[in-house]
Each structure stands twice: as C-alpha cells, then as structure tokens.
Amino acid sequence: MFCRHCGKKLPDDSQFCVYCGTSVEPTSVSDDEHPAAKQMNTESAEAPVESSDSRAAKVLGALGSRRMLLGIAVAAVVIVVAVGGMMIFQRAEAERMAAEELAREQEERREMLAASHDVTIGVDASGWDTEEGGTPMPVLISGTTAAGEDYEERQFVDSDGEGIELVPGSYALSVEASPFGEYGRMYDYPSADFAIAVDEDLVEGEGIDMSDDLVIELSYPDNLTPDGVERAREIALDVGYDVADDLADRAHGRYFDEDEEDEDESDASSANTTSTSKSGTNARTYEGDFFDIELPVAWDIRVASGGGDLHARHTVSLEGEDILIIDVMWGDEDISGVITDAAGVQKLGVTSDGGAVIAWRGNGPRTSNSMELIEEALETIDIK
C-alpha cells in the first residue's frame, strides 16, 4: 500500500505512514464519492518505485559535486599560496640582489676613496735639478679626504714637479723649506698655500696634471738665514737625503762666509799685475774671486755684489764709459752667441760652483772703438 499523503510505499497492514505520520486507515467515503482520491491512488499506484541504485546514484552525484567544489577550492588555495609564495620569493630575491648591488657599490666607493693618485705640479727654479744632485722640495699637505678624514703629511717634490700622492679629497699645499741645488744653492719660496682637489671619480691609477694651474716659483735667496739652511738640512736628512749634509755646509759658506767682503764695490787695482798683451798694449792682470783676466791698463774695473739671479757684477770702463760687463750668476744659464753679435752677449764659461760667467758689451762710441781689445781681453779669461 502507499501513503495517501506523501506517496511512500508502506506495508499493507500499516495504520500510519512511517514517513509523514499521516493515518492510512480507509475512510467511510467510497471511492465513487471521491474520484480525486481514487485518481490519486491510481496515479500513486501507477508511479514507478524509486530503486536503491537510483538513490545511491543521486547520493554519489551529490558527493561528486561536493568533492569537485572542494577540489576547486583546494586548487584555488594552492594557487593562491603558490602565487603568494612566488611573489614573496621574488621580492626577497629582489631585495637580496639590491643589497648585494648596494654592498658592491659601497665596496667600490671605499676602494675609490682609498686609491692614491699621482699629482704633478709646476716648478720654476733656475739651477735646481734633482737628477744632478739637488734635493727634493719638502711640502706640507693638509686637508680632508673624500671619506671625511683629516689629512696632514709631508711629501717631497722633485724638479719635474713629481712626487705627490693623494687620495680623493680637498687639500692645501705649502712649501716647508728650500731645496738644495748643486753646490749648496738655495732659494726663496712662496709662503702662500696652494689648493689641490682630487676627484673621487678618478679611475684607479689615473694621475692628475696640475703643472699649468699650480706653479711654485723658486727665486734666488734674498731672505735666506742660517736657520733656514739648518731647517732644510734637518728635513732632508730625516728622510734619507744624506747629500744634504754637504750641501748645507756649502750653503753656509756660499751665503754666510764670514770672510766675505762687506763692501758692495771695491777697487781691484791692488790685485793687478802689469804685463803686455799680445797686441802690444800695456795690460794688467785682474785676479778676482771668480776669474782672472788681462785688461789694458787704461781700463778700470769695479766689482759689485748682485741680487736675485746675479751673484757678482764686474764693470769695465774706459774714460767714464762702461764698455764691458762681466756677470757671475748664481746658476748656469743657457746663452749662445759671441760678444760681436748684435745682442752683444757671450757666455764665457761656468765657475766651479756652477755659476755662469756672462759678458755684455757696452753701446757707446768707446765700446765700438775698442771691440778688438775687448775680444782679446775675453780670450785671456781664466774662470775659477
């Protein structure tokens, strides 16, 4: 039998529907009086009975749908986790690479800031040659490196302007003492500071040529003192320039000789001896500190100390006209020509102390009339 209310199949002796609880007892009304019920019962009776396999299939279908949804959800979670993990990995990798690049750049910068560069400056000094026995010039360099560190160091510059090494930074250079030239020659030097800037972007090993922008001019000494000589000696000896000891002694003798004459001018007649020149002219021999020379007895000679590059000047005159000047320089000079040339100048030689001896002729009429005697006299010079 079937429940009239829910249509479920029931045992034939059932009084109530075990599914919906409705009474299944037949009513007193006949089927004829209730055709709708009769029709329903007929339809219910005719309805196919759902099999257990069908119900299992539906259950399995529902379970499959739920499993599919669960699988999709799990896959979505996996994708989200994978994408998130990839993004986290990529971000971490990018940060790692950025940190490595920053560390590399910082290391390169440290290396650039610590790299020394040769700095060449200009030097203008007559008679100073470090390849010919002179000592280098001591300079004090102070300032701040590009790394922010204070810097102060003594360095030495040779006669080519080389010898300075600096790391990137800004500096001031000052000359500490005169260098020694040959034979104890010394110099006055500027007291002002010179600016030096070393760019931190320079390639390692790249030098800087400042020879046109920074030129130190050394002049022959007007302000040299014995203390200045000793300071130069001490600085040079401290760094191993042993030759400075002998050069300093020579400098003392050269500039501060106690036996040097105090008078700027002197009459050299007391040093003369009379003779006859090869032209038959009565001559006398002048015997001086730097050279000996035979001059006609009618010619006078005066000696005066010089200044700057000039060590001593010998002026030869005839009847009040200066017809010949013979200069002794502190250093050597590169001069070509003879006394009869238009320039009227001739280099006669070099003293044992390295000073050039140079003759200049006068411009007056007595000079012109005495040119042969002037040439003859210059041939007799004996430089000491």
Same domain (yes/no): 28, 77: no
Same domain (yes/no): 239, 147: yes
Same domain (yes/no): 244, 171: yes
Q: Which whole number is the average pLDDT over 236-265?
A: 76
When pLDDT is cut at 50, 70 and 90, the band that residue 253 belongs to is confident
When pLDDT is cut at 50, 70 and 90, the band that residue 29 belongs to is very low
Give which of 330, 320, 295, 358 is closest to 128, Cα–Cα.
Answer: 330
Q: Is residue 146 included in any domain, yes or no?
A: yes
* pLDDT recorded at residue 264: 42
* pLDDT recorded at residue 57: 62
When pLDDT is cut at 50, 70 and 90, the band that residue 214 belongs to is very high
Same domain (yes/no): 317, 188: no
- Token output for 161: 């302007």
Q: Is residue 339 included in any domain, yes or no?
A: yes
CA angle 375, 380, 384 (to 5 degrees): 125
Q: Is residue 313 included in any domain, yes or no?
A: yes
Q: Is residue 165 included in any domain, yes or no?
A: yes
Query: For 172-199, what is each residue's pLDDT tens digit?
Result: 999 999 999 877 889 999 999 999 999 9
Domain boundary pick from 221, 255, 289: 255
Q: Is residue 260 included in any domain, yes or no?
A: no
Same domain (yes/no): 121, 251: yes
When pLDDT is cut at 50, 70 and 90, the band that residue 49 belongs to is low
* pLDDT recorded at residue 59: 60
CATH number for the domain spanning 188: value is 2.60.40.10
Q: What is the pTM of this model?
A: 0.48
Same domain (yes/no): 156, 214: yes
Domain boundary pick from 70, 94, 114: 114
Same domain (yes/no): 94, 144: no
* pLDDT recorded at residue 270: 39
CB 177 within 8 A of CB 248: no
Q: Is residue 53 included in any domain, yes or no?
A: no
* pLDDT recorded at residue 154: 97
CB 188 within 8 A of CB 220: yes
Measured over the CA atoms of residue 86, residue 90, residue 92 and residue 96, the dihedral's sign is: positive
Q: Which whole number is the average pLDDT over 315-341?
A: 91
Count of the separate structural domains present in the chain:
4
Chain-centre distance of CA 190, in angstroms?
24
Same domain (yes/no): 67, 99: yes
CB 173 within 8 A of CB 196: yes
* pLDDT recorded at residue 53: 60
Q: Which domain holds residue 281?
A: 265-383
Same domain (yes/no): 138, 249: yes
Domain boundary pick from 234, 255, 276: 255
Same domain (yes/no): 22, 78: no
Q: Is residue 98 included in any domain, yes or no?
A: yes
* pLDDT recorded at residue 92: 85
Give which of 201, 192, 189 is closest to 173, Cα–Cα.
Answer: 192
Same domain (yes/no): 136, 108: no
Same domain (yes/no): 232, 301: no
Mean of the per-residue pLDDT values of the chain: 83
Q: Is residue 283 included in any domain, yes or no?
A: yes
Query: For 341-380, what is each residue's pLDDT tens digit?
Result: 877 899 999 999 899 999 999 888 999 899 999 999 999 9
pLDDT(225) > 70 = yes
Query: For 116-170, what is each residue's pLDDT tens digit?
Result: 899 999 999 877 899 988 999 999 999 999 999 999 999 999 999 999 999 999 9
Q: Which residue type sits at 321?
A: E
Q: Looking at per-residue confidence, does 276 or 204 come out higher? A: 204
Query: Can you give 63-91 as a three-state secondary structure string?
Result: HHHHHHHHHHHHHHHHHHHHHHHHHHHHH
Q: Looking at per-residue confidence, does 51 or 329 come out higher? A: 329
